[in-house]
Amino acid sequence: MTAVSMLFSAAVLGTRALAAPAPTDPPQPPTTAQQEQGMRTGDPFRDPVTADATGDNQNLNITLDVGQSVFDVSGRPVAGQVYNNGTVVAPTLKVSAGSTVTIKLVNRLPVATNLHFHGMHVSPTDDSDNSFSCVSPGATITYRLAVPADHPQGTFWYHSHAMGTMCAANGAHNMSDMAFEPGQTQNQIFAGLSGAMIVGDNRSLLPVGLRNATAHTLVLKDAQIDAAGRIVQNTISPANPTVRLVNGQLRPTLTLKPNETQLWRLVNAGADIPYQLRLDGYRFTVVAEDGIPVAQVSTRDTLVLPPGKRFDVLVTACAVPGQAVLHTTTYTNGPQGGTYPDTQLATIKVDGWPVTRQPAVTGAIPGAPADLAPAAVAGRRTVELGELQEGDNFYFVLNGRKFAADSSLFDTPARLGTVEEWTIVNTTEENHPFHLHTNAFQVMSVNGVPQPYTHREDTAMVPASSGGVPGKIVIRIPFADYPGKWMFHCHIAAHEDLGMMSYLDVVR
pLDDT score of 238: 87
Nearest alpha carbon to residue 390 among 401, 376, 382, 374: 401
The 10s digit of each residue's pLDDT in 414-464 is: 999 999 999 999 999 999 999 999 999 999 999 999 999 999 999 999 999
pLDDT score of 179: 63
Q: Are 428 and 459 in contact (CB under 8 A)?
A: no
Share of the chain above pLDDT 90, in %: 89
Q: What is the pTM of this model?
A: 0.95
The 10s digit of each residue's pLDDT in 99-147 is: 999 999 999 999 999 999 999 999 999 999 999 999 999 999 999 999 9
> Which residues, including other chains, have CB under 8 Å from residue 95's CB and lie 6 or more apart?
52, 53, 58, 60, 101, 145, 147, 197, 198, 199
> How many CB atoms lie under 10 A from the CB of residue 194?
29
Nearest-Å Rg of the Cα atoms of the chain is 22
pLDDT score of 22: 47
pLDDT tens for the chain, 508 residues long, are 333 443 444 444 443 433 334 456 667 999 999 999 999 999 999 999 998 765 556 899 999 999 999 999 999 999 999 999 899 999 999 999 999 999 999 999 999 999 999 999 999 999 999 999 999 999 999 999 999 999 999 999 999 999 999 998 655 556 566 667 899 999 999 999 999 999 999 999 999 999 999 999 999 999 999 999 999 999 999 889 999 999 999 999 999 999 999 999 999 999 999 999 999 999 999 999 999 999 999 999 999 999 999 999 999 999 999 999 999 999 999 999 999 999 999 999 999 999 999 999 999 999 999 999 999 999 999 999 999 999 999 999 999 999 999 999 999 999 999 999 999 999 999 999 999 999 999 999 999 999 999 999 999 999 999 999 999 999 999 999 999 999 999 999 999 999 999 999 999 9
Q: How far apart are CA 80 and CA 58, in angstroms?
A: 32
pLDDT score of 356: 97
- The DSSP H or E segment spanning 187 is helix 185-191
pLDDT score of 5: 40
Q: Say whether 455 sits in a helix, a strand or coil.
A: coil
Q: Say whether 9 sits in a helix, a strand or coil.
A: helix
CA angle 15, 20, 21 (to 5 degrees): 70
Q: Say whether 255 sits in a helix, a strand or coil.
A: strand
Q: Is 302 exposed, middle or buried (0-12, 13-18, 19+ CB in 10 A)?
A: middle
Strand order in the sheet with 322-328: 253-256, 343-350, 322-328, 275-279, 302-305
pLDDT score of 170: 52
